[in-house]
Amino acid sequence: VKMNDKKLTVACSTEYKDYPFKEKLDIWTLISLKAPSLGMTLDEKEHRKRAPIDLVVVIDKSGSMAGEKLALVKKTLEFVVSQLNEKDRLCLITFDTSVYLDFKLTPMTPMNKYQTLKIIKDISPGSMTNLCGGLMKGLCEVIDRADEEKNEVASVLLFTDGFANKGR
């Protein structure tokens, strides 16, 4: 796709490389978009600073996430962490059969970023999928933030393949 003189890159990948011919199937597809750079000067970037965020990341580490799915989540989170600054805070929750608070909302100083990336790298697949438990824990972390510490902008990012088989 071309926009003005810049390209928008679109990439698609499916769960499996090959599919049976003339058979009706549900096919899971990942679509990635990469937009062109705005090409702003340093002064323009300075004026476009964003508000600090509280970001709660909830990761499905169940057995169905093993392999490429979990690897893609980790790669995505490496990028997300690299974009955070010291005023941003990140919370990490993982879940399989159980729900784990890997760390509470923490300012993303260089040292905390390093520790965060190490924790993300060490995530390994577990057993069943308690999707509801993981999501509820993430929402509670946002709701229960102390007023004097919370950033105005808050988000929960849920990374899952959606195959819930434990809890409701």
* Position 165 pLDDT exceeds 90: no
* Position 74 pLDDT exceeds 60: yes
pTM metric for this prediction: 0.72
Q: Which residue has the higher pLDDT, 2 or 69?
A: 69
Q: What is the pLDDT of residue 20?
A: 85
Burial track 93-116 (b if 16+ CB lie within 10 A, e otherwise): bbbbeebbeeeebebbeeebbeeb
d(CA 77, CA 91): 12
d(CA 144, CA 94): 18
Mean pLDDT in residue range 30-40: 79
116-147, pLDDT tens digit by residue? 999 999 999 999 999 999 999 999 999 999 88
Q: What is the pLDDT of residue 135?
A: 95
Mean pLDDT of the chain: 89
Confidence of residue 104 (pLDDT cuts 50, 70, 90): very high
Q: What is the pLDDT of residue 44?
A: 61
* Position 101 pLDDT exceeds 70: yes
Check if the beta carbon of residue 108 is closer than 8 Å to that of residue 90: yes
d(CA 115, CA 121): 10
Instruction: Count Cβ atoms within 10 A of the Cβ of residue 12 and give its class: 0-12 exposed, 13-18 middle, 19 or more buried.
Output: exposed
Mean pLDDT in residue range 40-53: 72
